[in-house]
Amino acid sequence: MTVNNTATDTATDTATDTATDTATDTATDTATDTATDTGSPAVTWTPDELMTVNAARALSGSRTCFVGIGLPSAAANLARRTSEPDLVLIYESGTLGSKPSRLPLSIGDGELAATADAVVSVPEIFNYWLQAGRIDVGFLGAAQVDRFANINTTVIDRGPGRSEGRLPGAGGAPEIAASCGKVLMVLRHSRRNFVEKLDFVTTVGHGSGPGDRARLGLLGEGPVAVITDLGVLRPDPETAQLVLTEIHPGVTVPQVIEATGWKLRIADTVGVTEPPTQAELAALRALKSGGDTRA
C-alpha cells in the first residue's frame, strides 16, 4: 500500500513547507540515545527498527495481511521471517502470498510477483479479495491521524491565504481500513502526525466514536493498535479513543504526550515493550540489505 511509505516523506515535505514542530526528529534522537543506554551493550537499534520490530510483533497470530509499502511492508516481512513464517502477504499490486527475500522498494518490485502463490489483476485484488473480507489484517501508514485513528493522506490545510498542501491521496486505504478483519497502523510520532483535527478524512478508523463503524457499514473491527517510534496506542473499548498503552524502552510518558497533538489519555498501567531481540534485528537488517537469514 503505497499510501503509507509516503506518509513519512510527505510529513518531511510538509515540515519543510510549514512551520510545524520537529517532534519526530527530537523523538528520534532521544530514542536512539536511550536504546544505546539501556539495551544490552551488544545490541543497539534505531527508533525505526524499534518501531518496525514492534509492528511485526503485532502481527502475531494473523494468517493474512494486506501490506502497504514502506514501514508496513518491512514489519510484515519481518513477521514472516520471525514469529509468523506462514503469514500470507497480499500486496495491492495483485500478489497473493509474496515471499520476497529483500524488502521491495515499491509494490511493483518483480520479486513480489515471482514469489507469489498467485498473481491477479488489480480489480480482482480489490473486489474478490479485499472487499470480500477475506483478509485478517490491514497494515497502514498515515500522514495525519486523529484520536479516533481516522487518517488523512489527502490534503493539509496550510493556513489562511495559502493553497492546500497536497498529499499523495487515498490509494487503497479507505477500503483496506473498511474491509480487513482489523487494522494496524505504524507511523512516526509527532504533533504534526498526531493531530487534534484532521484537515481531511481520507480513511475512517473509528469515525467519531463507538458505534460509528457499524453505522457506516464498515466490516472489520478497525484500528486495534497504532505503533510508533515512541510506543503503542490502542483504542479504549468504551470510547474508541486512542490511549497510550505501551512505551518503548527508554521513552517516557511525558515525551509521548508532548509528541501528540491532542490531550492524550494514558492507560492505568503503561507497559514497556520488550527490546528488539538479536534475532529480530538480524532478520530485519538482512531483509533491508537484501540478504536472507533463513536456512
Partner 1 sequence: MADIRSLRDAVAELVHDGDTVAMEGFTHLIPFAAAHEIIRQGITDLTLVRMTPDVIYDQLIGMGVARRLVFSWGGNPGVGSLHRFRDAVENGWPRPLELDEHSHAGMANRYVAGASRLPFAVLRGYRGSDLPERSSTIATVTCPFTGEELAAVAAVNPDVTVIHAQRADRRGNVQLWGLVGVQKEAALAADRVLVTVEEIVDELEPRPDAVVLPSWTVHAVAHVPNGAHPSYAAGYTVRDNDFYQAWDPISRDRETFLAWIREHVLEAP
Residues binding partner 1 (CB under 8 A): 2-3, 5-6, 8-10, 12-13, 63-64, 69-70, 88, 92-97, 104-110, 112-114, 117-119, 121-123, 126-128, 130-134, 154, 163-166, 168-175, 178-179, 200-204, 207, 212, 216-219
Of 84, 92, 246, 280, the active-site residue reads 92
**Closest CB to partner 1 among 14 and 228?**
14
Query: In sequence order, what DSSP letters do the residues of 8-52 get, joined into one string?
Result: HHHHHHHHHHS----HHHHHHHHHHHHHHHHS-TT----HHHHHH
The Cα–Cα gap between 242 and 254 comes to 16
Give the shortest CB-128-to-partner 1 separation in angstroms: 5
Give the shortest CB-199-to-partner 1 separation in angstroms: 10
Give the number of other CB atoms < 10 A from CB of residue 31: 25
Give the shortest CB-190-to-partner 1 separation in angstroms: 17
**Closest CB to partner 1 among 216 and 272?**
216
| 243 contacts: CB under 8 Å, gap ≥ 6 | 233, 234, 235, 236, 264, 265, 266, 267
Can you read off the three cell numbers belonging to residue 44? 543497539
Catalytic: 280?
no
Can you read off the three cell numbers belonging to residue 135? 483478509
**Closest CB to partner 1 among 114 and 279?**
114
Identify whether the C-beta of residue 140 lies closer than 8 Å to the C-beta of residue 185. Answer: yes
Give the shortest CB-236-to-partner 1 separation in angstroms: 20
**Closest CB to partner 1 among 109 and 246?**
109
66 three-class SS:
strand
How close are the terminal C-alpha atoms of the chain, in Å? 29
Which residues are designated catalytic?
Answer: 92
